[in-house]
Chains A and B, each alone.
Chain A
Amino acid sequence: MHILGISAFYHDSAACIVRDGVILAAAQEERFSRVKHDYRFPERAIRFCLEQAGISAKDLGTVAFYEKPAVKFDRLIKTYLMFAPRGLESFLAAMPLWARQKLWIKSELKSKLGYRGEIHFPEHHESHAASAFYPSPFESAAFLTIDGVGEWTTTSFGTGRGNDVKILKEIRFPHSLGLLYAAFTYYTGFKVNSGEYKVMGLAPYGDPVYVDLIYDKLVDVKDDGSFRLNMDYFNYCTGFTMTNEKFDALFGRGPREPESEITRLDMDLARSIQVVTEEIVLKIGRHVHGVTGEKNLCLAGGVTLNCVANGRLLREGPFENIWIQPAAGDAGGALGAALYTWHRILGKPRKVEGLSDSQRGSYLGPEYSDAEIRRFLDSRQIPCQKLAPEEFPGRIAELIAGEHVVGWFDGRMEFGPRALGSRSILGDARSPKMQSIMNLKIKYRESFRPFAPSVLCDETTNWFDMTGCRPCNGFASPYMLMVGHVREDKRIDGTADVSTLRGLDRLKVTRSEVPAITHVDYSARIQTVHPETNERFYRMIQAFHHKTGCPVIINTSFNVRGEPIVESPEDAYRCFMRTEMDYLVMGSYLLDKKSQPPYVETKDWRKEFQLD
């Protein structure tokens, strides 16, 4: 039986098809529509999923939507009741959308899909819990879901056993770790719901000087990790901004203007909120362990994309193993809703395959065959070279080792925000200038942002300290959701005390043998690469290792800043030509920038993409 799961209307619409419990396809709408974080009804993503499954809408057994709109509406109305007459503007802005669309999911599906059958509506956090537990490698585990807010729930934990998930306890709106982090994201001048990971990346440049203030004034945290926010400082219940003037008064200024210079205050705020988040997550983790007695933990919900907190939880927390849903945000709700329907509503059994998860490397999106790629290249008369399978790994490895920036387009597109060797831009991690080259000439983004490494799974422990992580089995880090540290013997100036340097000066220290992926505090957001899930990527990095002695390369997502990750050969070529990338590999085809004809732009693309 085919189940279609859908998430839509808040951020990151997505669709997923599960057949008899097996994930056939999943993708975010933004990749097809080319609008980042597209939250509209995911028509294109659904169409892709149906095509991949080889069915049409009428063949669907059932459909699942990732949350309960009526309960969400209840929360909205009750919130307005608590503040009225304040909140009029917000009410007038929100209600038409609800009246016209959000309350009528069934008719949306009927008109857009031609589907008239039954629709299931698990709760938002039930969808998150399902996406965390069901694909995990565990027969039995605790789960923890943390996000901005679903209907009422913002944080929940419980247990998963066999084919059952059960939420035990929760925290409700407006008390939310996701919204707290978003408030600081807004205040430090980044975009809410997309800039949070920049705050996380900025944190090591600052000092945790506001931690006590945050605990004192903004959030009351109990020993068991449960918390309440002091709503006197936040505006998000009824306003259009996250924080208010009282919050401003705490730090002596208004929010940072986006794109303006990042100050010491911003860095220190980032560090402080990051520390508070980590500490709350740790406390919650200990409580969940105490209540459930489980040694395995599954995570989902937007806040669990905070891989620095995840790394701390693994290293310092009580759980032996942690598995995180790669599409931890709302897009993963589509997957969770479908699986929840199959296992919990229909009661179907769940089989765990040894030590591996059933996320299939998260390579769940569309792929393009060599023939299709060839057709595209020929249609535009694009100069290219076809590489034979034997020469492929060595040739690409050689280009990377030559300090060239290489676009890599291969296989099925990743589901989730990270590029994992399917739609990636690759570079030499050993090169000291690669971080700024790639930030300024490829991604056109803020230069404080670090890059992440992909490493051969069997070489991980030679280069990185990932206590608690066991590479080359299901408990590795194949999805770039854990942060570890570069091993001490690979660091340079390992004894230099980073904390004596201030702010961006911390960037000036060459930190390790792989400086491009070593953050200023020696941390790295690691992807372990496994031959079973991505053989081509593995073999290429292996060739690089044989050539250079280094099994680590830079893996950043294939897109320019503000653009969703590329989906098709056309998207890939466009990004290739718009940036100073040197080479592009698509399937078996290698493109050299120097041989390309000039690219004609139809409009100024730099204005087209909203800065995120």
Chain B
Amino acid sequence: MSGKLIHVLLQAVLLLVFFVVLTPLGFVLRALGTDYLARHSDPNAPSYWISRKP
């Protein structure tokens, strides 16, 4: 298989994964309130430091 063909196929697969898996899953997760990135600011929290489990 030529390199170019592999590249195109890979892009097609990635596109598929992005729209068929990531996007719907993302919608569901966000609807359930998941935020992996903790994007909100929390005026009441005394600290944003996260403790490491020993």
Contacts and interface: CB of A to CB of B under 8 A. Distances in A.
Given A168-B52, A174-B37, A226-B49, 12 more contacts: A79-B36, A81-B29, A82-B37, A85-B18, A158-B52, A169-B50, A169-B51, A170-B50, A220-B41, A222-B47, A222-B48, A228-B38
B34 to A, nearest CB: 8
Contacts of A228: 38-39, 41-42, 48
Given A91-B14, A174-B37, A220-B41, A82 B30 contact: yes
B41 A84 contact: no
A231 B37 contact: yes
A174 B38 CA distance: 8
A173 interface: yes
B41 A171 contact: no
What class of interface size applies to chain B in its complex with A? 20 to 34
Contacts of B42: 228
A78 B36 contact: yes
Contacts of B23: 84-85
Contacts of B37: 78-79, 82, 173-174, 231, 237
Interface string B1-43: 0000001001100110011001101110110000111110111
A56 B6 CA distance: 36
A227 interface: yes
A91 B17 CA distance: 10
A91 B26 CA distance: 14
Contacts of A82: 26, 29-30, 35-37, 39
Contacts of A77: 22
Interface of B: 7, 10-11, 14-15, 18-19, 22-23, 25-27, 29-30, 35-39, 41-43, 45-52
* B14, B15, B48 — most chain A CB neighbours (10 Å): B48
B38 to A, nearest CB: 7
Contacts of B36: 78-79, 81-82
A251 interface: no
B22 A80 contact: yes
A1 to B, nearest CB: 29
B50 to A, nearest CB: 5
Given A169-B52, A170-B50, A222-B47, A81 B15 contact: no
Q: Which 4 A-B pairs have the closest CB atoms?
A: A226-B48, A84-B26, A78-B36, A169-B49
Interface of A: 77-85, 88, 91-92, 95-96, 99, 158, 167-175, 220, 222-224, 226-228, 230-231, 237, 287
Contacts of A223: 46
18 contacts: A78-B36, A78-B37, A80-B26, A81-B29, A82-B30, A84-B22, A85-B18, A88-B18, A96-B7, A96-B10, A158-B52, A170-B50, A171-B49, A174-B39, A222-B47, A223-B46, A227-B48, A228-B41
B50 A224 contact: no
B51 A172 contact: no
Contact of B15 (A83, A92, A227): A92
Contacts of A220: 41, 43
Interface of A, helix, strand, loop or mixed by DSSP? mixed
A226 B47 contact: yes
A170 B7 CA distance: 39
A172 B50 CA distance: 8
B7 to A, nearest CB: 8
A280 to B, nearest CB: 12
A464 to B, nearest CB: 35
A230 B41 contact: yes
Nearest to B27: A84
Nearest to B15: A92
Contact of B38 (A88, A99, A172): A172
Nearest to A225: B49
Nearest to B35: A82
B28 to A, nearest CB: 9
Nearest to A231: B39
A45 to B, nearest CB: 28
A171 B15 CA distance: 32
Given A79-B37, A82-B30, A95 B14 contact: yes
B48 A81 contact: no
Contacts of B25: 81, 84
A83 B47 CA distance: 26
A215 B26 CA distance: 31
A82 B28 CA distance: 10
A592 B47 CA distance: 61
A81 B26 contact: yes
B53 to A, nearest CB: 10
A224 B11 CA distance: 45
B47 A224 contact: yes
Contacts of B52: 158, 167-170
Contacts of B29: 81-82
Nearest to B43: A220
Contacts of A224: 46-47, 49
The CB with the most chain A CB atoms within 10 A, among B10, B25, B42, B47, is that of B47
B19 to A, nearest CB: 7
A81 B18 CA distance: 9
B2 to A, nearest CB: 16
**Most chain B beta-carbon contacts within 10 A, residue among A158, A222, A223:** A222
Nearest to A88: B18
Nearest to B22: A84
A167 B7 CA distance: 41
